[in-house]
Amino acid sequence: MREVEKWGIFELSVKGPEEGNPFTEQTIEGEFAGKWESVHTVGFYDGDGVYKIRFMPSFTGEYAYKVQTSFGGPVRGGFCVTEPGEGNHGPVRVKNRFHFAYEDGTPYLCLGTTCYVWDLQSDERIAETLTSLAHSAFNKIRFCILPKHYDFNLGEPRSYPFEGTPMDSSVLTRDNFLEYGNCSPGNSWDFARFNPEHFRHIEYCIRELGKLGIEADLIVMHPYDRWGFSRMSEEEDDRYWNYVLARFSAFRNVWWSLANEYDLMRSKTIKDWERFAALICKGDPYGRLRSIHNCIPFYDYSRPWVTHCSIQRQDLYKTSEMVGEWRERYGKPVVLDEIAYEGNIPHGWGNISGEEMVRRFWEAVCRGGYPGHGETYWNEEGVLWWSHGGTLHGESHKRFQFLMDIWKEAPGDGLMPCGDFWSEVCAVPEASLTDSVRAKDYYLIYYSFMQPVFKEYHIDDETGYRLSVIDTWNMTIEERGVVSGKFRVQLPGRPYMAIRLEKVNI
């Protein structure tokens, strides 16, 4: 009997017809049942007469399946689900309303980056990106399934999702690219025939990310288009969505981002997005995380299918600083998938310093949110992390493991903002469903751009706290012994400092 580990993928291939259009004329679907679950899933045509169906089991033990196709009799069989392997904690779920955890209970502190089309670059660049990620603190990456047409990213992708031929890109320049809208002449696509190689390659990328413990936040649609992929018909859109769902749903590290900057996709309406959301809820039987990313107006994150906010910077100055308000408004995890990019390109969203990026990260974390990174340093080669992946050139990414180490040591299910502080940002443990962790157990106080030479506190008269002074930029932690009652903390009078108070159990 075949074996598959819990939260791994059981995949079945069936030979079938190649003639006609297998994508539209044939179907494959199946039932997968163990003692604790029974799941119906849909498969897909993978080219060359091969039909595939995938299933992710959530329990150990014996499973049976029955797969039915439009072209032959049912296929039955069974497999055994073993304990998850090392590093396999299952899919990420929302935990305690504002936070995340892997399905095995391991906390997941989301610290993402964005490389929109790293997956559509050369093998060498992809390997370089994976190496960069392996040496980083990132545990999520946002990227696109469809190729991207945008400033600094005007070349051809390694492959296209449909059969056909693209317009001639040699006419494009930084000055004229905006004129090439998403229905330029010269494109010739058959939206009813997918290019399986394109999707197989993205599965490779998802798997490689999985090996590194990184979640794949898949951007399924986006407006940066010269090929017409953002202007397909309802029928074409739905077929694309169902193909994506059939292929990628079973990967435990997949998240769904319906779109990047959905509001820039002029030919789609809220009705369309809600229809896609319904397709996900049907086509992804595992309930993977779902959101949608804005340019200017937020999508209504209170919609029931939205599992978490996926927020872009709201103005030049304040975004991380708004996390508390957004937590209250939506009652869901607040993921800041874009708080501007560290870099130096002309675009206002793409030229903040490393210091400012790290500041925004700490501001977000200390308010109970989850910040995301990106990098846009201009270079002669035109390889920008934000779009192509490759190598990190900035300063902020070097400081995230330090932040992560401190973050991980905090007690409870994540952090939340403490409203009792007037002019500093203070994180305390999230309001817990149990009594094991209390707000007064732990304080992480961040001074942002402020540079006090001392601060004074008075938590209460009884509790003793281990005091640490943290330099978030220079990455030092200075232990200052135990304090209690009214106490003063001497500080160096530099920006980007923080202190930590950990309750001493006596």
Task: Give whichever of 94 and 345 is closer to a second copy, judged by the CB atom.
Answer: 345
Is 486 a binding residue for a second copy by CB under 8 A? The answer is yes
Is 466 a binding residue for a second copy by CB under 8 A? The answer is no
Name which of 2, 10, 105, 1 is nearest 56 in CA terms.
Answer: 10
Token pair for 8: 């791994």
**Out of 67, 352, 392, 445, which residue is the one contacting a second copy (CB under 8 A)?**
352
Rounded to whole angstroms, the Cα distance separating 500 from 446 reads 9
Would you say 315 and 281 are in contact if contact means Cβ atoms under 8 Å apart?
Answer: no
Is 469 a binding residue for a second copy by CB under 8 A? The answer is no
Is 349 a binding residue for a second copy by CB under 8 A? The answer is yes
- The helix, strand and coil proportions of the chain, stated in percent and rounded to the nearest 5, come to 25, 30, 45
Site string for a second copy, 372-391 (x = CB under 8 A): ------x-------------
Would you say 238 and 272 are in contact if contact means Cβ atoms under 8 Å apart?
Answer: no
Which 8-state DSSP code applies to residue 480?
E
**Out of 3, 35, 347, 474, which residue is the one contacting a second copy (CB under 8 A)?**
347
Is 455 a binding residue for a second copy by CB under 8 A? The answer is yes
Would you say 417 and 98 are in contact if contact means Cβ atoms under 8 Å apart?
Answer: no
Name which of 455, 460, 378 is nearest 423 in CA terms.
Answer: 455
Rounded to whole angstroms, the Cα distance separating 353 from 290 reads 31
The residue range among 81-89, 128-136, 347-355, 411-419 that interacts with a second copy, by the rule CB under 8 A, is 347-355
Say whether 200 sits in a helix, a strand or coil. helix
β pairing state of 334-338 and 309-312: parallel
Rounded to whole angstroms, the Cα distance separating 4 from 485 reads 56
Is 236 a binding residue for a second copy by CB under 8 A? The answer is no
Is 318 a binding residue for a second copy by CB under 8 A? The answer is yes
Is 495 a binding residue for a second copy by CB under 8 A? The answer is yes
Task: Give whichever of 44 and 377 is closer to a second copy, judged by the CB atom.
Answer: 377
Q: What stretch of H or E contains 325?
A: helix 323-330
Rounded to whole angstroms, the Cα distance separating 426 from 422 reads 9
Is 179 a binding residue for a second copy by CB under 8 A? The answer is no
Task: Give whichever of 31 and 321 is closer to a second copy, judged by the CB atom.
Answer: 321
- Residue 318 C-beta: closest distance to a second copy, Å: 5
The residue range among 16-24, 50-58, 197-205, 452-460 that interacts with a second copy, by the rule CB under 8 A, is 452-460
Rounded to whole angstroms, the Cα distance separating 68 from 366 reads 51
Task: Give whichever of 166 and 390 is closer to a second copy, judged by the CB atom.
Answer: 390
- Residue 10 C-beta: closest distance to a second copy, Å: 49
Rg (CA), the chain: 24
Q: What stretch of H or E contains 130?
A: helix 123-134
Q: How many CA atoms does the CB half-sphere of 442 hold within 13 Å? A: 22
Is 395 a binding residue for a second copy by CB under 8 A? The answer is no
Task: Give whichever of 63 and 386 is closer to a second copy, judged by the CB atom.
Answer: 386
The residue range among 164-172, 265-273, 304-312, 314-322 that interacts with a second copy, by the rule CB under 8 A, is 314-322
Is 454 a binding residue for a second copy by CB under 8 A? The answer is yes
**Residue 135 corresponds to which amino acid?**
H
- Residue 455 C-beta: closest distance to a second copy, Å: 5
Rounded to whole angstroms, the Cα distance separating 119 from 29 reads 28
**Out of 200, 453, 479, 504, which residue is the one contacting a second copy (CB under 8 A)?**
453
Total residues binding a second copy (CB under 8 A): 32
Site string for a second copy, 272-311 (x = CB under 8 A): ----------------------------------------
Is 434 a binding residue for a second copy by CB under 8 A? The answer is no
User: What dihedral angle (degrees, nearest 10) is formed by the CA atoms of 259, 265, 270, 272?
Assistant: -80
Is 151 a binding residue for a second copy by CB under 8 A? The answer is no
Interaction site with a second copy (CB under 8 A): 175, 316-318, 321, 344-349, 351-353, 356, 378, 422-424, 447-456, 486, 493, 495
